[in-house]
Structure 1
Amino acid sequence: MKRLAKWRLISLFSILALVLSGCGEPYLSTLKPAGEVADTQYDLMKLSTLIMVGVIVIVAIIFVLILVRFKRRDDRIPKQVEGSHKLEIIWTAVPILLLLILAVPTVAATFKLADVSPMDKKNSKALVINVRSHLYWWDFEYPGQKIVTSQDLVVPTNEKVYFNLKSTDVKHSFWIPAVGGKLDTNTENVNKFWLEFDDKRSNEAGNVFYGKCAELCGPSHALMDFKVKAISRDKFDAWVTAMQNVKEPQKAQSAVAAQGQELFNQSCIGCHAVTPSNKMPETARLAPNLSDFGNRTRVAGVLDHNKDELKNWIRNPETYKPGNMMTGKYPEMSEEQLDALADYLMGLKVQ
């Protein structure tokens, strides 16, 4: 009975794993590629899977065939045929051939995806984004456009976007599952790569993808997400212009929000910036840039974007992201102060 119960559990978990393998969203799945890099990697994954499954099937057929056909029927010792040159050549040549079939497209794809020469050319027109990872959030600088965003990465579709990756604290890993494989962000060197966001498949995903940290970096590693907005080049240029036109901190739209702005200037401005200029001093880039906070879809990358969740986050960030760098950096606030600060932050909208 105990053995039967164990087999039931194994069967239940196997069925559950099969069902869960079908779960996913188009904006967060490597099995629904949405760009040239993702397509290339997906094709390599299918090729390697096909080769592995093919080997397993052939070996299983030979195994069963030998069990059935050469089953021992008496005590006679069969004829010894070790040292067959033909068989040795076959089982040596076949793996080499399979490795070549897999290695050639893999090496070719590796060199193709590693080519970042256009971003290093003098007076290059390529779009370059400097990605900086922090505990536990992301910072995106557009040096050519002289703007900075945090948590929200905005990119044009149907063209290569080049990235410089660096970490400000510990090793992280930059990964947008639906668009391309991950690459580490290190403290001691800059890693470079490129991605391309397909316009048609971006539209199918609602023009929104989500990125993640793919390197264990601390207690809130699983919560280190960011949003990617993939839009046409015309809309991207309009977004850049709107961001560049924000020269000064936006003014509060109500009396309550004005109180929140005053409170922000007293407690938060030392770490957070509220203008997207990349000329802000480093002291104002210790925490996410909030210049377009009102247009975000998540608070702290993990909570629903509304006033109540924002107040919950400010009240006790350690509850939602253990080990974050915001905990204990400002005085406790009353409910009235939280309401005012939340009103001000939710009103920060560039477009």
Structure 2
Amino acid sequence: MQMVPTQRLICFGSATACLLRTTTLLAQNSIPTTLAPASTPAHQIFDLSIFVVAITGGIFLVVGGLLAVVLFRFRARKTDPAGEPAQIYGSTQIELAWTVIPVLIVVVLFLTTARIIFAIQDAPKPKTALDVTVIGHQFWWEFRYPKYGVITANELHIPVSSAGAQEAAFLKLTSADVNHSFWVPRLAGKTDLIANHVNSMWMDPQTPGLYLGQCAQFCGSQHALMLLRVYVDTPGQFAAWIKNQQQPALQDPAVAAGRRDFEAQACMNCHTISGTSATGRFGPDLTHLMSRTTLASGAMNNTPTNLRQWIKSPDTFKNGALMPAMQLSDKQLDEVTAYLETLK
């Protein structure tokens, strides 16, 4: 069926809109992609991938070209004599060529890949490097900043690196349960988190902004919603964020009822809120909950409506989440939500 000009125009317009939307998302760091590296490890991985694609693309063109030539040159013709055509029984030179050349290609790819792996893994750690401990949980991320005494969840903040102020974040990765994998494509390659074992990785992003990633190792029913948000801050922004995170939770008398409800439930056994009796470690630290853009490891935006619904029924957003529905009354839900909204 042939498209009329109007249909062609609509299709072209849709394709153009899709391309522009994708370009806009890339510009806003909203698409996790390895094609727009923003830190040294990511650049090295990207350069390696281009090198591999160039070699394998060349192999494809050579093999495909030879195959096309053979199919054309030795195709059946009406003038060919009847019977079996002349048989050719190998060539030592050709057999040596198609054995030696692939071996050399594999050796080159192996050595190049090994060089990049060791360059990333053995990179010297600057004295000014930021240390962060990353702990994977089903299904959320815990981030600890030992130097500053800060513990947060799901949204990692690190300083930007520039020519005048070289900064790097060195991450120690482990798991509290099953295997997970930390992957922010624009910043570094993926690294597994394994219980009772510490892996490490580093990144030095050169452009401030938001970088998205997620767990890249299947870890259970909500693996797809174990998302990552890395905020690369300017030095001033990072210092201000750290200072805010170091403050104890605000104790607002206007929401005292919500705090009492929170401490009277099992919430305090799983979550920590500094300055209160809530010291649980099974769930995310909530001391500065409202300083985060999202809830439930990026499953939804951090709004009062979503927060209330999450407390009421976590399965609504994240089926299989380990947080249980607390069976609170509507009044208690309103009070607890109002209390948590003050935790900035």
Cα distance in structure 2, aligned partners of 1:74 and 1:347: 91
- TM-score, reference length from structure 1: 0.81
Tell me what 1:104 maps to. Answer: 111
Decide which of 304, 312, 329 is 1:334's aligned counterpart: 329
Query: Secondary structure of 1:215's partner?
Result: coil
List aligned pairs for 1:1-351, cutoff 5 A: 23=22, 25=26, 26-27=29-30, 28-72=32-76, 73-75=80-82, 77-115=84-122, 118=125, 124-158=127-161, 159-199=167-207, 202=208, 207-244=209-246, 246=247, 248-252=248-252, 255=254, 257-267=255-265, 268-275=267-274, 284-300=280-296, 301-328=298-325, 330=326, 332-349=327-344
Cα distance in structure 2, aligned partners of 1:327 and 1:259: 22
Cα distance in structure 2, aligned partners of 1:303 and 1:37: 30
- Say whether the 8 Å CA contact 1:116–1:162 is kept in structure 2: no
Q: CA deviation at 1:132?
A: 0.4
Aligned length: 311
Q: CA deviation at 1:210?
A: 2.0
Cα distance in structure 1, aligned partners of 2:146 and 2:95: 59
Q: CA deviation at 1:112?
A: 1.0
Equivalent position amino acid for 2:180 in 1: H
1:272-295 CA deviation, whole Å, 9 max, x = no partner? 11239xxx99x5221101122112
Query: Secondary structure of 2:280's partner?
Result: helix
Equivalent position amino acid for 1:187 in 2: A
Q: CA deviation at 1:347?
A: 1.9
Query: Secondary structure of 2:269's partner?
Result: coil
After superposition, the CA RMSD in angstroms is: 2.4
Q: CA deviation at 1:238?
A: 2.9
Q: CA deviation at 1:78?
A: 4.9
Cα distance in structure 2, aligned partners of 1:284 and 1:116: 37
Alpha-carbon spacing, 1:211–1:313, altered in 2? closer, same or farther (3 Å): same
Query: Secondary structure of 1:34's partner?
Result: coil
| Residue segments in structure 2 that go unaligned for 5+ positions in a row | 1-14, 162-166
Query: Secondary structure of 1:270's partner?
Result: helix
- Aligned-residue identity in percent: 32
Q: CA deviation at 1:336?
A: 2.0
Cα distance in structure 1, aligned partners of 2:223 and 2:176: 15
Cα distance in structure 1, aligned partners of 2:123 and 2:144: 18
- Say whether the 8 Å CA contact 1:115–1:193 is kept in structure 2: no
Q: CA deviation at 1:104?
A: 2.7
Q: CA deviation at 1:81?
A: 4.1
